[in-house]
Structure 1
Amino acid sequence: MKIIKLFLILLVFASCKKETESVQTPVIKTPFVQTPIVQSEIDRLKTKSEIENFIRKSDTNYKKYELKKLQDFNRSNSYDSVNKILANKLNVKTFYTKADFNNDGYTDLLAIGDNHDCISFRPGIEGEESCSFSPIVLMNNGKNKPKIFHIDKEFESPIVPKVEYINSQPFLVIHKQKLVDEKKKKYADSKAILTFKFGDFIEYNENPKKNKITKIEFRTSGCFGSCPVYKLTLNRDSLSVFNAQYYNFNKKDDVGYGKEEGVFSTKISKVEFDKLEELLNYCDFENLNKEYYVMHTDDQTGYLKITFNNGKVKMISDYGMIGTYGLKILYEKLAELRFNQKWKKK
């Protein structure tokens, strides 16, 4: 199916913490002990075609995947020219890098390429062209097919991913250009240092706090489509409530809107609540922005309210629900709670 996408000129500027023009590399005090590498199929991949075939057979969503250097992207938008400058500055001139991101002894694969799942038409040029930009990581467990993670928070956003080592420990570092002066077209470098934790890539935190969270409240708005609209009130020591409004159980655009799906309650297990608390503390939720937003339109907003440490409150509004890598993981886990708990209808 052909997808015609219109790109905005502005760059996305939401990140895990308030973005500054430079991000200090963390000082890692915990000694890193590398797990010995166990040879697997990824270690044996050498050529461009071998890697492409491996990616294509690993996931049918990537059956047209083509490796490309960042310098080879020439889409009909302003993103690529800015990205090429940054890639050259960082000396990123390859389309793949191997590293063991989660230190499990199996080599993972960072790939930069074109998934050919976006088609556009360039004015004045006959025919169609690919507008896809698909930086991915294949996480390898040595046995089953690797799991593929799309590592740009916002679809098609311009980033320069790079493997960087800090005290011998590999990190996935996402570099990008932040627009700081639109009139002068002035950009500043920004980066997020990611590690693999909680089942996904998240901003690295050497010393997470141990805030005691008593309540997590989360609600979503609607969007142009059938985004699930719901409210969750999760209490550590009392009943939790799931207010299913629209499109939680029925995803069809033309069915059910205007008729709420029900209110449910249950006691969230201590284990599940503790996991959410650990994730939020790892995100350093106290110091996240109060507001995040993407530059495209017609998306939904997530509203997060956290009560902690005997009555303190942190509130976050996130239009697009990808304000940080950590928040994105949190929203996914909250969405899963709608269906993996023993909710009882009130």
Structure 2
Amino acid sequence: MKRLLLFLLFFSFAFSASGNAVDSLKTDNDVLKFVLKVDSNLTYKGESQVTIVPTDTLLKLIKCNDVARQWSVKAWQKVDFNRDGRTDLLVTLKWYNVFHVFVVIDKGDNLFKALDLTRGWLTGENCQLAWPIKVADKQMLAFYSRTYIYEGKVRDGEWKWRTELKTDTLVYLYDDFIEYNPKVKNYAIRSISINSRPTAWPGPEYTANIQADGKAAYSAFKFKSESGYFTGKISTNKLAELKSLLDYIQVKKLKDDYQAQWTDDQAVDYEIVFEDGTVKKINDYGTIGTFGLRRLYSFLLDLRQSEYWEPMRIPKSIPRVELPHVNKLH
């Protein structure tokens, strides 16, 4: 028994002293096993749903290989994205017949967070890829996307398409990648509301309203197994982070409408009321608007788990609980 305990203690020490788990990765197979361990969503009934192809094969198969070659894209690469001294992982995974961009962030204490940066459905000639870059001596990520958007049929029944090319500069902030913004705004925000509703596919169906003093109301119609009406108080730290995120993504300058070129996806409506009385409404069908909006969506969704909510009895005919306007978000 003593030998076993000594062995376990030695093993634990050796593992903790071996450094960052990403640093030890040497082969494509090492990387694949590591990613599958971090993100269980990439397996089904114990079988991997993704593969990693060697870099030379990737450059042949990826649809936008002209850009991939220009950027010298690799199948995977070790990078410290959040500048904390721990090595993170950028990897391109082959998921069925398309490639997805993943980043694994080392959170410390042997905890890792997997982020799928790929936006929307990738089919046919659509392509997305990423490459680490430095901007103002800060580590960032260049993200390229080429999307063929169907615009309907024209004369003689031929399909009409247009090509949309876009390159974003992303920075790791607010626990995710969002568009880099060197000129942050300072909005006086009175309240923010969100209405999330799925279509044919299962998804969270809920509304939430957060006021400047942290008072909040939450209505769950189809949120996992939960339903009902709740009130709560958002913590000071979370409220400050929400305000900072809205400032950084320049929410007032975002487009009013984002539409995915497919059906049966999540539809999300935002309404931000500013202290000057103006209102910003954003409809994001498919949650593909911007990287910043996607982070806002997940941030608001996570509040249901991070904050304390008190159930309340409200007639089912009331679609959403509105709270009176209060002080500014500081």
TM range (shorter): 0.7 to 0.9
Q: Distance in 1 between matches of 2:259 and 2:167?
A: 18
Q: Give, in whole Å, the separation in 2 of the partners of 1:44 and 1:147.
A: 17
Change in CA separation of 1:167 and 1:272 when aligned onto 2, cut-off 3 Å: closer
1:221-273: CA deviations, max 9, x gaps? 331133222221211237432222x212527xxxxxxxxx4333233344332
**Pairs within 5 Å for 1:122-271:** 130-156=96-122, 158-179=127-148, 187=163, 189-237=165-213, 239-244=215-220, 246-250=221-225, 261-271=227-237
Partner-residue secondary structure (3-state), 1:338: helix
Q: Deviations over 1:265-315 (max 9, x none)?
A: 233344332221111111110111100121121112111010113212111
Shift of 1:72: 4.1
Q: For the residues of structure 2 that align with 1:241 and 1:184, how far apart are their CA atoms?
A: 45
State the SS of the aligned residue for 2:68: helix
Quick one: distance in 2 between partners of 1:238 and 1:100? Answer: 34
Q: Match for 1:343: what amino acid?
A: E
Contact 2:190 2:211 in 1 (8 A): yes
TM-score, normalization: structure 2?
0.74
5 Å matches for 1:1-346? 40-62=20-42, 64=48, 65-68=50-53, 69=55, 70-73=58-61, 80-81=62-63, 83-88=64-69, 90-115=70-95, 130-156=96-122, 158-179=127-148, 187=163, 189-237=165-213, 239-244=215-220, 246-250=221-225, 261-339=227-305, 340-346=307-313
Structure showing greater radius of gyration is: 2
Contact 2:99–2:128 (CA under 8 A) maintained in structure 1: no
Q: Which moved more, 1:97-106 or 1:44-53?
A: 44-53
User: Any conservation in 1 of the 2:100–2:129 contact (CA below 8 Å)?
Assistant: no
Aligned length: 277
Query: Structure 1 pair 96/219, CA: closer, same or farther in 2 (3 Å)?
Result: same
Q: Which protein is richer in helix relative to its size?
A: 2
Structure with more contact order per residue of length (Cα contacts < 8 Å, sep ≥ 6): 1
Which digits, 9 at most, give the CA deviation of each residue in 1:189-220, with x for residues without a partner? 41111111111111111221111111001112
Q: CA RMSD in A?
A: 2.7
Judge conservation of contact 1:236–1:268 (CA < 8 Å) in 2.
Answer: no
What secondary structure is seen at the aligned counterpart in 1 of 2:302? helix
Q: Kindly tell me: are residues 296 and 212 of structure 1, through their superposed partners in 2, closer, same or farther at Cα, counting changes over 3 Å?
A: same
- Which residue does the alignment assign to 1:17? none
Whole-angstrom distance in 2 between the partners of 1:232 and 1:146? 29
**Contact preservation (8 Å) 2:71, 2:131:** no
CA distance in 1, matches of 2:269, 2:256: 10
CA distance in 2, matches of 1:250, 1:142: 32
Q: Kindly tell me: are residues 169 and 224 of structure 1, through their superposed partners in 2, closer, same or farther at Cα, counting changes over 3 Å?
A: same
> Helix, strand or coil: the match of 2:294?
helix
Identity of aligned residues (%): 27
In structure 1, give the amino acid aligned to 2:310.
Answer: W
> What is the CA distance between 1:174 and its match in structure 2?
0.6
The 8 Å contact of residues 113 and 133 in structure 1, kept in 2 or not, is answered as: yes
* Structure 2: 5+ residue stretches without partners: 1-17, 152-158, 314-330
Higher strand share: 2
Deviation sequence 1:104-136 (CA, Å, 0-9, x none)? 001111111224xxxxxxxxxxxxxx3242321
Q: Contact (CA 8 Å) 1:289, 1:316: kept in 2 or not? A: yes
TM-score, normalised via structure 1 length: 0.71
